[in-house]
Chain A
């Protein structure tokens, strides 16, 4: 089955700096890669996603890149703000089954 790895497990950045979280997946058939943000005491919420026919996608301060050959995808947050502090999960899904497999998460702290 699909396996998703995520690094780093914790990340601290100064406010205004950029943050990068990297993920790898194991199954080359995966074609959909969402990113979820989880604030303390809440359920995860989708922030951006990318499909395998796209190499990069941006939404204001966040962007995701995908390298299908290497089976890598990354989340980039620019101009970080304290409200970006949360746990971020990458995930992967294959067209052959209706489920999403999550990475172990990255705890991001933005220091004012």
Chain B
């Protein structure tokens, strides 16, 4: 049982380039999330999808777009990468709403560097 799988694990981009981070979960979870982790700032929510077909902005959505492709997959796209987007990105999923004590299951992270 793989859980939450993120690709790629590492990526280096130049300013202005675009890329997509892929996330897939095999736990039949309804909700999926993208977080970024920066030193001293914890985990900040970028976008989330409470269920298939819906997406909503989190705390730091600027510069990102998301697609909930189906129940399993939730991708994060950087259209024009900036050095401020250098970070570790985590995808997570939960079976039911986190507000109803739904546990978040995280992937292992994608480390992105923008030069």
Contact = CB atoms under 8 A, between A and B. Distances in A.
Interface of A: 1, 6, 9, 31-32, 34, 36, 41-46, 49, 51, 89, 93-105
Most buried by A among B41, B44, B98, B109: B98
B1 to A, nearest CB: 15
B70 interface: no
Q: What secondary structure prevails in chain B residues at the interface with A? A: mixed
Interface residues of B, number: 27
A31 B99 CA distance: 8
B42 A42 contact: no
A98 B98 contact: yes
Contacts of B50: 98
Given A93-B98, A95-B99, A101 B59 contact: yes
Interface of B: 4, 31, 33, 35, 40-45, 48, 50, 58-59, 90, 92, 97-101, 103-104, 106-109
Nearest to A32: B101
A104 to B, nearest CB: 4
Given A34-B103, A46-B103, A93-B98, A99 B108 contact: no
